[in-house]
Amino acid sequence: MIILLISLAFKFISGACPTGYMGFNCTELRDSCGPFVQQIPTWTFGELNPVAMMHHTAAAINNLLYVTGGLNGVYLNNLQIYNPLTTTWSAGASMPTARQFVSSGVINGLLYVVGGWTGSYSNKLEIYNPLYNNWTTGANLPVALYAPGVGAINGLLYVVGGWTGSTIDTLMIYDPVHNNWTTGESMPTARMHAVSGVINDKLYVAGGYNGSDLVTMEIYDPLHNSWTTGESISTARRQFASGVIGNKWYVVGGKAGSTLQNKLEIYDSATNTWTIGQSLPTVRYGLALGAINDSLYVVGGEDSQARKTLNIYNTNPPSNVTCYDLPCHEDYVCSYNGNCIATDTCICADRYFGDDCQFYNYTVPVKCYGISADDYDNVCGGMGNCVAINNCACHSRHNGNECTNLIRPPLAKLLCAIFPFWCT
């Protein structure tokens, strides 16, 4: 009894089983993927946008990325639509007004595009319906301007700051149901070319320009029609892009003075803190961003000219190795007919073969040590696959003719030597 209590106490204090093992006696494998591998979020390149754009806007609707407006020698009204599932671009109906320095928000599946520069300041509000691929016009902004911050909260569109010949702090609120504008409490700091995002029904505005580049962040609460101050970003900049995933706000790119930026900063609204992510592969400003599921899609922008570039940042990459682009712990990996034991390495079940176990040999009956290979629960000790007569392909960390031996790390071996009953 004393030994048992000591064993249980040690197990509790030491954090239970060694890495990769579970269960009371630490003989159960956590999964068949091998050691846990924490992947780091990284940038990848997507299919180029057919149209080079800078100073445009982007937003996500129903897992598609909508990109419109901007500049490329002339003011643009193109609407480009990216499908992450098929990794392809298509063209939608052109926006009625060609303009750059536009901003946008999404309400109930509709894209609202406001303000901009057409050679003069614009007060246009144009609304795109993806279902019918058409545009309609909403009530004009009370003030013609470009480069405001925009956010959609509870069916209303919030437009704040911008440039009218000077930076402004005005907050304008559009109600699509009544097609009218009202004003809210002015933002404490007038600014243009800031980034804006919505987290938990609050509007966050950071950076931008007001005679100099800014680091300050201010947060609007529609419920109380009031502003508070949040933690500043680390790099003062303007003409950058941002997107929200969960309770985190990602801001990237832009321009600080004459220096182009590729820095990615990540704000956690739960802790009011910023951290640094992996930098964008190239410096750009005047870029646009949309967030879809766990990924950021950054499109276009300018370094020395307008670009077609699409960069994708997966904020939550798979945590283990994959077999042929499928997470190795999923049931359907290796065509359901084998186990992924390392990156792109499938151990096939009996009579299956091929890189991902997609082929079946109908002609060869197989037994391992007298047990039919079809008896998956019992053949090879339940810890492997019968791949040929008396030939067991063992799951990770098992070996022996019938896969009955468990390969334990040194700590597990030591614990088993001290407490043999624990590992039986």
pLDDT in tens, 132-163: 999 999 999 999 999 999 999 999 999 999 99
- Do residue 112 and residue 244 come from a single domain? yes
> In whole angstroms, what is the distance from residue 169 CA to residue 180 CA?
20
Name the more confident of 419 and 19. 419
DSSP 229-284: EEPPPSS--BS-EEEEETTEEEEE--EETTEE---EEEEETTTTEEEE-PPPSS--
- Residue 410 pLDDT grade (very low, low, confident, very high; cuts 50, 70, 90): low
Domain presence at residue 419: no
Name the more confident of 108 and 321. 108
- Do residue 230 and residue 290 come from a single domain? yes
- Do residue 197 and residue 286 come from a single domain? yes
> Per-residue pLDDT for 360 more than 60?
yes
Pairing of strands 156-160, 180-184: unpaired
Single residue among 314, 346, 380 that ends a domain in this structure: 314
Q: What pLDDT is recorded for position 286?
A: 98
Which of 58-62, 168-172, 372-376 is predicted least confidently? 372-376
- 226: containing domain: 43-314
CATH of the domain at 309: 2.120.10.80
Domain presence at residue 187: yes
> In whole angstroms, what is the distance from residue 58 CA to residue 298 CA?
9
Domain total in the chain: 2
**CA separation, residue 352 to residues 280, 327, 340 (Å):** 43, 20, 14
Which pLDDT tens digit goes with each residue over 104-117? 999 999 999 999 99
> In whole angstroms, what is the distance from residue 176 CA to residue 238 CA?
29
- Do residue 387 and residue 258 come from a single domain? no
The token duo for 188 is 């404490």
Q: What pLDDT is recorded for position 63?
A: 95
Q: What pLDDT is recorded for position 10?
A: 41
- Do residue 217 and residue 102 come from a single domain? yes
Which pLDDT tens digit goes with each residue over 185-214? 999 999 999 999 999 999 999 999 999 999
Domain presence at residue 414: no
Name the more confident of 420 and 254. 254
Which pLDDT tens digit goes with each residue over 255-282? 999 999 999 999 999 999 999 999 999 9
Domain presence at residue 7: no
- Do residue 48 and residue 32 come from a single domain? no
Q: What is the mean pLDDT of residues 74-99?
A: 97
- Do residue 100 and residue 172 come from a single domain? yes
Q: What is the mean pLDDT of residues 6-20?
A: 44
- Do residue 243 and residue 264 come from a single domain? yes
> Per-residue pLDDT for 403 more than 50?
yes
- Do residue 162 and residue 189 come from a single domain? yes
- Do residue 63 and residue 86 come from a single domain? yes
* pLDDT above 90 coverage of the chain, percent: 64
pTM, 2 dp: 0.70
Domain presence at residue 282: yes
Q: What pLDDT is recorded for position 22?
A: 54
Domain presence at residue 420: no
Compute the half-sphere exposure of residue 204: CA atoms within 13 Å on the CB side of its CA. Answer: 26
User: If phi over 0 gives left and psi between -120 and 50 gives alpha, with beta otherwise, what is residue 233?
Assistant: beta
- Do residue 152 and residue 269 come from a single domain? yes
- Cα-flanking dihedrals φ and ψ of residue 11, to 5°? -65, -40
Q: Which value, in Å, is the radius of gyration of the alpha carbons in the chain?
A: 28
418, containing H or E segment? helix 410-418
Burial of 314 (0-12, 13-18, 19+ CB in 10 A): middle
Q: What pLDDT is recorded for position 161?
A: 98
- Residue 405 pLDDT grade (very low, low, confident, very high; cuts 50, 70, 90): confident
Q: What is the mean pLDDT of residues 366-382?
A: 78
Q: What pLDDT is recorded for position 170?
A: 98
Q: What pLDDT is recorded for position 14?
A: 38
Domain presence at residue 12: no
- Do residue 287 and residue 391 come from a single domain? no
Domain presence at residue 412: no
